[in-house]
Every structure is written in C-alpha cells, then in structure tokens.
Amino acid sequence: MSESKDFLRTIVEEDLKSGKYKEVVTRFPPEPNGFPHIGHAKSIVINFGIARDYHGRCYLRMDDTNPTTEDTKYVEALKDAVHWLGFDWDDTVYYTSDYFPKLYDYAVALIKMGKAYVDSLNEEEIREYRGTVTEPGRRSKYAQRSVEENLDLFERMKKGEFKDGEHVLRAKIDMSAANMQMRDPLLYRIRHAHHFRTGNTWAVYPMYDFAHCLSDYIEGITHSLCTLEFENNRDIYDWVLDTLELEPPRPYQYEFARLSMNYTVMSKRKLLELVEGKYVNGWDDPRLPTIAGYKRRGYTPESILNFCDQIGVAKANSTVDVAQLEFAIRDDLNTKVPRVMCVLDPLKVTIENYEGSEALDASYYPDDVPKEGSRKMPFSKEIYIDREDFNENPPKGYYRLTPEQPVRLKHAYIITCKEVIKDADGKITEIKAEYHPESKSGSDTSGIKVKSAIQWVDAAQAKKVEVRLYDRLYSSEAPEGMEDLNPNSLQVIKNALVEPAVITEKPDERFQFEREGYFYADPVDYTDEKPVFNKIVGLKDSWSKKKRSSEPVPKPKAKKVQVDGEVVPMNEAEQALFDKYTGELGLNSEVANTLARDTQLSSLYEESLSVFNSPVLLANIVANEVARELKEKQLNELKFNAKQIAQLVKMVDDETISNKIAKQVFEQMAKTGEDPTQIVKTKGLVQISDPAIISPIIDEIIAKNPDNVAKFKAGNTKLLGFFVGQVLKTTGGKANPKVVNELVAEKLK
C-alpha cells in the first residue's frame, strides 16, 4: 500500500465503507494506437495499484473504437508494459470492440426513448450549429425525425448503406447547455474501414463518450479513473448511464492530473511522428519516454514505480522534472549493481618498471552497499586509462594524472607519469609510467599522496565493446517540434574497453561503470561478438549543473566527491588527516576525503575509533549515516554519541547484524538516542547465519521460481543475485548475505 493516501484512495475507501460497492473494480483503458509511455505508467500504477491495495480487480481494456489507427502490435506492447511493471489482470484482456453488439443495442434503446436521433448535417454544419461558449447552439432540423425513421436510418448506417460522414447518431440533450459537450454529443459515426479485430462487420463505430461509460458499466467497473481533460465529458458519462436507467450499481468517473515531463513529448501521436519519421530508432529507442524505451535502456520497473509513487496523484496539472525520474533510477541501481571498469576513450599507459602479471582482488560493491562479491582484475605492464584522466597542462584543481601528479589506479597501484609520447600532430598516443610496488590498494605503505583514483583496464585482457551514450531527446524543456531535438541525444562509442569480468563473469546485466554512470547490456543488439551497452543514467545530474552554472553551486557539507577533480584543494591540516586516513587507516579516498574535510565528522570518527578500533567500518558509518544527520543538525543536537557508534560497528564487525540492518538500527538510534544493542535486542534484528534456518527459505524460493531456476541452469548465472535478493527480502534483510550466497550457489549447482 502506498504510504500516503491520495484523493482517489480516499474516495474508494469511503465508497467501500458506505457499502456503495462490495468490491472496487478499476480498469486501464488505453487505445491501442501506439506504444505506452511513462504517462500510461502513471495510470497503470493508479488503476492496478488501487485494485491491489483494496483487494479488488483491475481490467486491462483495449479501447479500440477507431479502426484506422489501431493494431495488434500496440496491444502486445501494452500487455508487455503492464506485465513489466509487475501487474497482472483477470486472465483475459478486454476489448471495447467485444461490446459493439451490446453498445448498438443501447443506442437503439436511446432512439426508442426519443433520446437519440440520426443527424444528416455535415461536419462543418454540426460545428457551426453548436454555438460558442457565449452563444447557445441551434438544434438540427433532423432532430425531429420520428423514432421509426431514426431506427431505420441507424440500422442502414450499420449495414453500410451510406458513405462516411453522411449521417451520425447524436444524443438529444440540450443545445444551449453551458457545458458545450452536452450540446447533443455524437454517439456513432460511419466508418468504412477494416478493424483489426472485427474486420468489416461494422460500418458504424461508437464515439468515446458513448462507448467508454457503457464499457465501464458492462464490466462492472466501480471507479472510472481518467485524466483531467475528460472533466467536461463527465456530464455525458452520467447522462448516458442515467438515461438508460441501468440496473445499479453504476460506475462513476473521477479525474486526476496527467503526467507531463520536461525535455520530452508524451502523446502517442507525437511519438508516432518521431518513429515514423525515423528521428529515433523505433518505439523502443532508449531515448523515448515509452515503457519499451525505458526497459531497453535499462531502467528497472522498481524505479518507475518509485517515481510514480513520488510524483503522487493530484488534481492539478503540472510538469514533472525529468531529473526526478533520473534520480529514481540512480537511487534504485545504487544499492543493486556491481561496480566495474570501462574506459570509454582509451589511452595506452606502459608501466615500465612492471614485469609479469597478476590478478588483483576487487570488490564489486562499495562498503555501503549490502551486497557481496568480487572479481579478479588482471594487471600487467600495459594498461589503458581514459584520455580525460591525463592532462599535460592541468587547470587548477585537476586531481588526476599529470606529468607532476601521481594517481591511483582503482583497486591497484599508484602510478607516476614518466614520459608523454605524441604523434606527428601532437596528439598524445601513449604515457610511459612507473608504478609504486608498495602502494597496492588495501596494503598501501608507500606514503605517496594522491588526490584521486581512476578507472583502467588491462590491455591484454580488456574486451572491446560498443557503448551508446544517451542524452535527453530534446534540448528544450518544452519542445515545440522537431527543431528542438537534441542533436547529441545519441553518441555511439565503438571502441570502449571493459575489464574481462564484465563479459566473462557477467555478474549482472546492469553495471556501474566507475565514474561514468550506470549501464545496461542492450537486450536487442548485444552479442558475444559485439557486446553493446546502453547508458542508463549518469552518476549525477549533469543538466542541472549546466543550467545553473552561472549561480554559485551550493557545496554539500559532507560527501564531496574527491575523484572528480573539481573540488577545492584541502588545507594543510585536512591534507594531513586525509593522508593518515588513506595511508595507515586504509580508507578509500572518497571516505577519507569526506572525513578529512569536516572537523565535526573527523573528531567524532576519531573518538569512536578510540572506543572500538575498526577504522573502515566506522569510517563508512560516519562518512555516510552520521554525515547525513549532520547536514540537518548541529553536533550538539545529535541524540547519539561516539560510543554508541562504536557499539553499532562492533555488532557489524562480529557479524551480530548485517550492514543493511546496521543502517536501520542507526536510524532508530539517531531518532531516539537508544543504545544500538538495545535496539537490536528489542526488535529482534540479530543476523541469521545459521544454514538450518536459511536453507528452507531458499528451498521455498527455488520451488516458487522454476522458470528462473531453469534459466540459471541453462547458463544465466546472473540470476544468482535474484535468488539471493529474494532470500534477503524474505528475511527482512536479516539473513547473512555471505551465507545466503554460498547456500544458494550450492543448491543451484
């Protein structure tokens, strides 16, 4: 259930409580005339979400009343989208076209009641007769036709005796109604066209206003939820259902704001133009706001669901910043995906004093991610780094490799540049460097100062891949046409290099390429011969930076990103701390940087360190959790002290609780000041490491997911993570991930 109740849920709850309906029934009613987009996701989440939350039903209904634009391929895309978002429907997909015979009968009933008539004005006359907002309309002389004549004409319309546009069927309501929609709205029109489901059976097709309310009634819908532009149609909705005096209960229509988002377009018609005009590569082009596009780009369903949750349901239209969606995917992937190395623009580095080769231990996940796993990174004399990570004439504040400044190769050694080799045009073709044998990550005793760590790959074993960098489709916030398309929305890099584990181990299909962003193995074009990766999203919001570059950028108080090379240099005291932290205490440079630059954090860190000597674990808690608290509070306002932080870390250290649970405990401790040991005791959060408890949980998950087991056994080893994740979820994060990993691997063998 969504945390906060929106106005639609309030209505539904009241209707259930008052007994107006026994069960809530909603529907998602798209017209199959294009691929669904993120706006549809909002509607899907609302309709299916409400049905799920109130134990009702939600139908998927194709609103297929317009034979000229609809197609089964769109039906399939809609089904896919709903499934992908994690929803299911009542075994069958419904179609408005299945109700054509019933709808026809309802129209005949209205004619018999004298409430509908066949009009023979042409389109232009109909418009003219309708009047304006300030002037009432006039009724057509054909409105005086007798019931018999109307019945006869309508039947002949149906049989195809007339041409398109020759007659229409209209409701007889009120030509001077203030709501213009009520001025004898059209109910049926003649269309000699092939319908993708009913073929040539029908020569008349019902209009939305007639078909929608009755389809809702036929299906037993209780709450017909639609977007605001249908507000004025609600009167017709009610008129049709009431006039026909249908047996209760009947559905009611409620409107919510449609989603619009900047830097994109969101109507199927405009999307169709982009696809048909080949401005993009098909409906699933990763730059499109279609569900198929997001899926192919690498967005997770969870991120889209979270986004929909965050934007909420309101009654007023507004435009959502696409940065919010990008935040949602970044936030989701941050805790899930392995960190690996990819060099987009390779520059060769020869390490002259290195001989032979080795395999370096490199964790897939940073310490603050509750997942385990690592790979070996091959290292030898020739490696590649990114061209951008070397600068011969560095600007002030450039923290990466220069002729004077050494740099750390992440998970490996510190190197120093010895010589720059250039071609005849002056382009740098190679760096000759020296490595420092005692600077190996994790056991650095070199005492060498570096200001950042960069990604690299081993020349001999790196794999060539294609990388597709996507940017926003339009360069304008509110695009007006094709002229606003962003010419750089797709950049294809043919010769990027990734470390071998990405291809051979395939620890996942989504990755964080260190310092570049999140990437996804393209589900369509990826082959073993030519691996292709899509950029899902960057590590931070580069657009807001561009947009606001003239304003001073507010510096976050803690977490400054050292690795990026754009921050203020440290003063002497800070530098000394930083050196100590990265040196003797073995912290990674990002964490060390955060602590060293903030005296409150560093003093708290040192104090807790004196209570319990576990430098890395403590540093992670202080640099992340405590730093977050200190953004909002002063040091003396904190409810907890250094001793309690030490207590907490001790429990992680001796495996009483997992990393993940530690965060939960911290939150409680920050709120109440309670001792962490007490929190763990009262809440029963002790980590479960006992295989006898974990084993049956795994068995159950394996039994419930035969498809994934089969896929795993067929070689899709990525699914290991799925099973581990399910176990962790089932135990509320209490299972020991290491034990789970081992057991799952064992059982799936």
**What residues are annotated to the active site?**
31, 258, 268
State yes or no: residue 289 binds ligand ATP (CB under 6 A): no
State yes or no: residue 309 binds ligand ATP (CB under 6 A): no
Number of residues that bind ligand ATP (CB under 6 A): 15
Q: List the Cα angle 309/311/316 in 5-degree steps.
A: 130
Among 13, 39, 477, 730, binds ligand ATP (CB under 6 A): 39
Whether 462 and 499 have beta carbons less than 8 Å apart is answered as yes
* Tokens describing residue 460: 């001999």
Closest distance of CB 40 from ligand ATP, Å:
5
Among 8, 9, 12, 30, binds ligand ATP (CB under 6 A): 30
463-470 and 259-261: which strand pairing?
unpaired
Among 130, 258, 387, 628, binds ligand ATP (CB under 6 A): 258
204-206 and 357-363: which strand pairing?
unpaired
Among 2, 227, 476, 705, binds ligand ATP (CB under 6 A): 227
Cβ neighbours of 476 (radius 10 Å): 14
Closest distance of CB 78 from ligand ATP, Å:
8
State yes or no: residue 40 binds ligand ATP (CB under 6 A): yes
Burial of 409 (0-12, 13-18, 19+ CB in 10 A): buried
Output DSSP code: residue 410. T
State yes or no: residue 319 binds ligand ATP (CB under 6 A): no
CA distance 506 to 47: 37
Q: Which is nearer to ligand ATP, 154 or 196 (CB)?
A: 196
State yes or no: residue 29 binds ligand ATP (CB under 6 A): yes
- Residue spans of beta strands (DSSP E) within 32-134: 57-62, 94-95, 116-119
Alpha-helical segments (H) within 472-625 = 500-504, 542-547, 572-582, 589-596, 599-611, 615-620
Q: Segment near ligand ATP (CB under 6 A), from 146-154, 258-266, 418-426, 521-529?
A: 258-266
Closest distance of CB 438 from ligand ATP, Å:
59
Beta bridge partners of 58: 26
Q: Segment near ligand ATP (CB under 6 A), from 163-171, 265-273, 409-417, 581-589?
A: 265-273
CA distance 302 to 666: 25
Q: Which is nearer to ligand ATP, 198 or 227 (CB)?
A: 227
State yes or no: residue 140 binds ligand ATP (CB under 6 A): no
Nearest to 279 by CA among 87, 481, 111: 481
Closest distance of CB 307 from ligand ATP, Å:
12
Alpha-helical segments (H) within 348-408 = none
Whether 548 and 374 have beta carbons less than 8 Å apart is answered as no
Q: Which is nearer to ligand ATP, 40 or 436 (CB)?
A: 40
Q: Segment near ligand ATP (CB under 6 A), from 37-45, 128-136, 411-419, 581-589?
A: 37-45
Closest distance of CB 258 from ligand ATP, Å:
4
Q: Which is nearer to ligand ATP, 268 or 375 (CB)?
A: 268
Q: Is 566 left (phi over 0), alpha (psi -120 to 50) or beta?
A: alpha
Checking 540-546 for CB contacts under 8 A at 24+ apart, the result is 541/323, 541/326, 541/327, 543/323, 543/472, 544/323
Q: Which is nearer to ligand ATP, 60 or 337 (CB)?
A: 60
Closest distance of CB 193 from ligand ATP, Å:
19
* Tokens describing residue 515: 């310092």
Among 118, 187, 213, 259, binds ligand ATP (CB under 6 A): 259
Residue at shortest CB range from ligand ATP: 39
* Tokens describing residue 730: 């089932």
State yes or no: residue 85 binds ligand ATP (CB under 6 A): no
Q: Segment near ligand ATP (CB under 6 A), from 23-31, 342-350, 663-671, 722-730?
A: 23-31
Among 43, 534, 594, 658, binds ligand ATP (CB under 6 A): 43
| Cα atoms found within 13 Å of the Cα of residue 361, Cβ hemisphere only | 5
Among 25, 26, 42, 287, binds ligand ATP (CB under 6 A): 42
Q: Segment near ligand ATP (CB under 6 A), from 29-37, 273-281, 559-567, 716-724?
A: 29-37
Q: Segment near ligand ATP (CB under 6 A), from 27-35, 51-59, 330-338, 479-487?
A: 27-35
Nearest to 386 by CA among 458, 461, 455, 464: 455
Beta bridge partners of 28: 60
Among 75, 211, 226, 337, binds ligand ATP (CB under 6 A): 226
Among 15, 31, 367, 564, binds ligand ATP (CB under 6 A): 31
Whether 689 and 695 have beta carbons less than 8 Å apart is answered as no
How many residues make up the chain in this entry? 749
CA distance 518 to 507: 14
Alpha-helical segments (H) within 312-384 = 322-334
Binding mask 568-587 for ligand ATP (x = CB under 6 A): --------------------
Q: Which is nearer to ligand ATP, 40 or 515 (CB)?
A: 40
Q: Which is nearer to ligand ATP, 110 or 225 (CB)?
A: 225
Whether 657 and 665 have beta carbons less than 8 Å apart is answered as yes
Closest distance of CB 331 from ligand ATP, Å:
22
| 3-class DSSP string for 417-464 | EEEEEECCCCCEEEEEEEECHHHCCCCCCCCCCCCCEECEEECCCCEE
State yes or no: residue 262 binds ligand ATP (CB under 6 A): no
State yes or no: residue 718 binds ligand ATP (CB under 6 A): no
- ω into 569 cis (within 30 of 0): no
Q: Which is nearer to ligand ATP, 174 or 231 (CB)?
A: 231
State yes or no: residue 694 binds ligand ATP (CB under 6 A): no
Whether 497 and 465 have beta carbons less than 8 Å apart is answered as yes
Q: Segment near ligand ATP (CB under 6 A), from 26-34, 411-419, 482-490, 684-692?
A: 26-34
CA distance 652 to 658: 6
Burial state string for 96-123 with b = 16 or more CB within 10 A and e = fewer than 16: bbbbbeebbebbbebbeeebbbbbbbee
Binding mask 175-214 for ligand ATP (x = CB under 6 A): ----------------------------------------
Closest distance of CB 288 from ligand ATP, Å:
12
Among 72, 122, 232, 267, binds ligand ATP (CB under 6 A): 267
Q: Which residues are near ligand ATP by CB under 6 A?
A: 29-31, 39-40, 42-43, 63, 226-227, 258-259, 266-268
